[in-house]
């Protein structure tokens, strides 16, 4: 199969969405019923089953649901947490972080910084870039974590933080002079279908810490709680979000190649 360039090749079916998440069609249908599945791309495409079509960010969203479920979290909890991350990263980056851009650099690219594919590759679409990389001189490594991958770290099934794989950088704290080893993001409150996802920013009255010292103190205490929980967790779950997305793209490409 050649590099996808046509619009239709950058859209995915409900079956492919389930394949990206390594979920059964029945489980994906349940998420649709609960309004916890990734949103379909085209307006008016929310018909029955296979009539839905999805873009690459939706595929990445599904991959994160599947990764959290693989890590042992209940399906609905996985979908709620993945949905929050997909929305947050969508606001920040436009999509979840696949880290495919790292393959343009050394040690994977014999000509670091040079884009090794032609104009038919849509640089704004991660699946198109993924296929372009695989068809190029790039040393693409399926199933391998690489430097810069986005990591979700969950302590004792409750405290959810993010960090970066194989990079020792400190995360900025808005209420401290020193950076943090990981970014506190969410708490999982409760179990099963009744569990809720609580963003850390929702646990303070305001983020205007200069005007509200009480909120600043509360936020600082929350950060310390998250980092203490991470350090002293009985059990920690580590989910490589970027690798899960790349693996999902690998599965879709292989499935399409076999069907061609």
What digits encode the pLDDT tens for the residues 154-190? 999 999 999 999 998 889 999 986 889 999 999 999 9
Average pLDDT over residues 190-194: 84
Q: For domain 7-96+146-241, say whether CATH 1.20.1290.10 is its number.
A: no
Residue 183 β-bridge partners = 162
Q: Give 192's pLDDT tier (boundaries 50, 70, 90).
A: confident
Average pLDDT over residues 232-260: 97
Note if the pTM is more than 0.85. yes
pLDDT of residue 43: 47
Label each residue of 193-236 as H, E or C.
Answer: HHCEEEEHHHHCCCCCCCCCHHHHHHHHHHHHHHHHHHHCCCCE
Tens-place pLDDT, residues 115-128: 999 999 999 999 99
Average pLDDT over residues 73-98: 96
Average pLDDT over residues 133-151: 97
Q: Domain locations in the chain? A: 7-96+146-241
Q: Give 81's pLDDT tier (boundaries 50, 70, 90).
A: very high
Residue 48 has pLDDT above 70, yes or no: no
pLDDT of residue 2: 45
Contact 238, 151 (CB under 8 A): yes
* 218 Cβ contact list (under 8 Å, min separation 6): 203, 204, 205
pLDDT of residue 194: 87
- The CA–CA distances, whole Å, from 12 to 9, 76, 242 equal 8, 22, 19
Burial tier of 94 (Cβ tally within 10 Å: 0-12, 13-18, 19+): exposed
**Taking the chain, what is the end-to-end CA distance rounded to the nearest angstrom?**
7
Average pLDDT over residues 216-245: 97
The sheet with strand 236-240 has its strands ordered as 196-199, 183-189, 159-164, 150-155, 236-240
Higher pLDDT, 169 or 39: 39
Of 43, 148, 54, residue with least CA distance to 93? 148
DSSP codes, 74-100: -HHHHHHHHHHHHHHHHHHTSS----G
User: Can you tell me the distance from the alpha carbon of 86 to that of 55, in angstroms, rounded to the nearest whole number?
Assistant: 13
pLDDT of residue 151: 98
User: Can you tell me the distance from the alpha carbon of 85 to that of 258, in angstroms, rounded to the nearest whole number?
Assistant: 32
pLDDT of residue 4: 53
Tens-place pLDDT, residues 18-34: 999 999 999 999 999 99
Q: What percent of the chain has pLDDT over 70?
A: 93
User: Can you tell me the distance from the alpha carbon of 205 to that of 218, in angstroms, rounded to the nearest whole number?
Assistant: 9
């Amino acid at each position: 199969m050649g590099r996808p360039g046509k619009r239709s090749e950058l859209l995915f079916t409900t079956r492919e969405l389930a394949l990206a998440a390594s979920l059964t069609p029945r489980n994906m249908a349940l998420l649709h019923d609960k309004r916890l599945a990734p949103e379909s791309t085209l307006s008016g495409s929310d018909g029955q089953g296979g009539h839905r079509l999805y873009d690459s960010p939706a595929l990445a969203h599904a991959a994160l649901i599947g990764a959290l479920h693989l890590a042992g979290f209940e399906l609905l909890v996985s979908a709620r947490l993945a949905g929050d991350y997909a929305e947050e990263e969508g606001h920040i980056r436009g999509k979840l972080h696949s880290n495919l851009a790292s393959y343009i650099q050394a040690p994977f690219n014999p000509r670091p910084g040079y884009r090794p594919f032609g104009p038919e590759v849509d640089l704004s679409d991660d699946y198109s870039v993924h296929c372009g990389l695989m068809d190029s001189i790039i040393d693409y490594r399926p199933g391998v974590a690489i430097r810069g991958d986005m990591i979700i770290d969950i302590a004792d099934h409750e405290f959810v933080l993010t960090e970066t794989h194989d990079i020792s950088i400190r995360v900025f704290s808005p209420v401290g002079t020193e950076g943090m080893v990981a970014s506190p993001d969410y708490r999982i409150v409760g179990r099963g279908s009744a569990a809720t996802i609580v963003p850390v920013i929702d646990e303070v009255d305001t983020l205007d810490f200069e005007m509200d010292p009480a909120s600043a103190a509360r936020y600082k205490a929350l950060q310390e709680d998250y980092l203490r929980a991470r350090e002293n967790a009985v059990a920690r779950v580590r989910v490589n979000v970027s690798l899960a997305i790349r693996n999902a793209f690998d599965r879709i490409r292989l499935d399409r190649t076999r069907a061609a």
